[in-house]
Amino acid sequence: MDYLTNYRQWCEDEYFDAETRAELKAIADNEEEIKDRFYRDLEFGTGGLRGVIGAGTNRMNLYTIRKATQGLANYIIKKGGQDKGVAIAYDSRRMSVEFSLEAALCLCANGIKAYRFESLRPTPELSFAVRELGCISGINVTASHNPAEYNGYKVYWEDGAQITPPVDSEIIDEVNAVSDWNMVKTMSRAEAEAKGLFFEIGKEIDDKYISELKKLVVQPEIVKEVGKTLKVVYTPLHGTGNLPVRRILKEIGFENVYVVPEQELPDGNFPTVNYPNPESPAAFELALKLAKEVDADIVLATDPDADRLGVYAKDSKTGEYMSFTGNMSGMIICEYILSQKKERGLLKDDSFIVKTIVSTNMADKVAEYYGVEIKECLTGFKYIGELIKLAEESGKGTYEFGFEESYGCLVGTHARDKDAVVAVMALCEAAAVYYTKGLTLWDQMMVIYNKYGFFREGLETITLKGFEGAEKIKSMMEAIRTNPPKKLGSYNVVSFRDYQKDTITDLASGEVKPTGLRKSNVLYFDLDNDAWVCVRPSGTEPKIKFYIGVKGTSFEDADKKREELTADLMELAK
């Protein structure tokens, strides 16, 4: 069916509500807009759905949510998991309440129990709830840190992690098999409750989740003592983090937590920021203003679904607040956890940490120093969750910490997704302990750099929207794949990894060996002098991403090398 036929069906068929039909009729003279909304079905990928909110097959709306949920329901029924049920959470975005309810009612209409949170909750708590309730699956309605016009639909499996192979492709097949809107079931909430299929969850899960986090505190007495003095400024960026972050900090002993008032309450329009992303310096503008007013030691921001954490901390030499990348905050927490456990004899012979392939190589040095194994996985925290699961099932390996460069990490195994709430807790605990040694978090970061080397990383993205953009990204990846460079800037390429072909090619010897990871559309260049470059399309946005890593002799030298390599790489991308 071509996009115009699809468009006319949505305009005329009374299956679609009057508001949807009116929205579409209003764009009747805009063929480009019609094409963008209907040239394809919004792709149900390996993590679920993510897209712009609006009417059309290529948009996030009640109908695309229903279709996706019907496919998931069909899969759950095939697996005999109806009675286990599905946990459902949602964030502060526009339509999150409606989408989460629609998903729940579709499941119930298929005879599957739905456990829906009574109000918005962070992503990691949904991951926790799946396992706590013994559910076969979970759904989280969120677009994470995307702009306000987006929403999303993430699917989790019974281990509490986002779906991985082969489950992801099997669910995708079921979703794609829903070819007729009349195949999609739904029912009223009253009927679902009457049949014992719809359950509302909340406080009991909250209490258990917070209780699990508190077990992870290593130095509770220091936290309680320093917590009377240390000052923390925090912003939830209008999202889900406000209540759980404040609660955990209060309960472990931090008494001086200042929440940015303009960004405290949930608001899916994100009125104070263009982009609710803690990776963006602009997102910290109000938090840094408050930090200067109260003379804060740490400044923290979580994204709307509270799985990513952004950090600023004071440099004791200059008094300035310095920003941390996701790699830096990950290394601060990793170094703290491993050092504390090593000191207490708590590290096991089979202890391991995990990083993604685009995360800092400093992690390898930290693992080597503490005598723990480092495991590497593809981009996506679900693969870190998968390694935790494999270790538990095999009885081989004790998970200590996992992180990715995009501001996400996990301390503990209570969840199987990145958790900014526990990251806040761990980071503040670390700050308290280093405070007793006369160090700020930034001072400690410099200690770490001097200890392991000045590893610095960067990310450049090119946004290419629409059908033409998707084709351009595809051709860019293919051009690099078929004609990989032997030199990038001043660096020689040592080896070339093509994860789609599952090959690592040594350029000097010509030897080819497997990557050892699943196939994925990712290209990676190991360069000399501890540098590297990685290229991949975004799985959630119309972007192609270029990751860069270098090692310098100082902070300034590393930054200079990173900037030079980035400039050379962007010339190549033109």
144 is catalytic: yes
The catalytic residue among 96, 144, 359, 495 is 144
Q: Which residue has the tokens 């969850």?
A: 201
Residue count of the chain, please give it: 574
* Other residues' Cβ atoms within 10 Å of the Cβ of residue 470: 15
Terminal alpha carbon distance of the chain? 35
Strand partners, 156: 138, 162
141, β-bridge pairs: 90
Q: Could you give the maximum distance between any two Cα atoms of the chain, in Å? A: 70
Residues 116, 118: Cα–Cα separation, whole Å:
6
What is the rounded radius of gyration, in angstroms, for the C-alpha atoms of the chain?
A: 24
Pairing assessment for the beta strands 114-117 and 309-314 based on DSSP bridges: unpaired
Asked whether the beta carbons of 493 and 487 are under 8 A apart, the reply is yes
Kindly state the DSSP code that residue 118 receives in the 8-state scheme.
S
d(CA 120, CA 569): 41
Q: How many CA atoms lie within 13 A of 123 on its CB side?
A: 31
In sequence order, the β-bridge partners of residue 547 are: 459, 534
> Does residue 186 contact residue 314 with C-beta atoms inside 8 Å?
no
Q: Using CB atoms within 10 A of its CB, is residue 479 exposed (0-12), middle (13-18) or buried (19+)?
A: exposed
Lateral strand order in the sheet of 86-90: 48-52, 150-157, 137-141, 86-90, 114-117, 198-201
Say how far apart CA 85 and CA 89 lie, in whole Å.
13
Name the pairing type of β-strands 298-302 and 231-235: parallel
Q: Name the residue with tokens 């938090």.
A: 287
Write out the catalytic residue numbers: 144
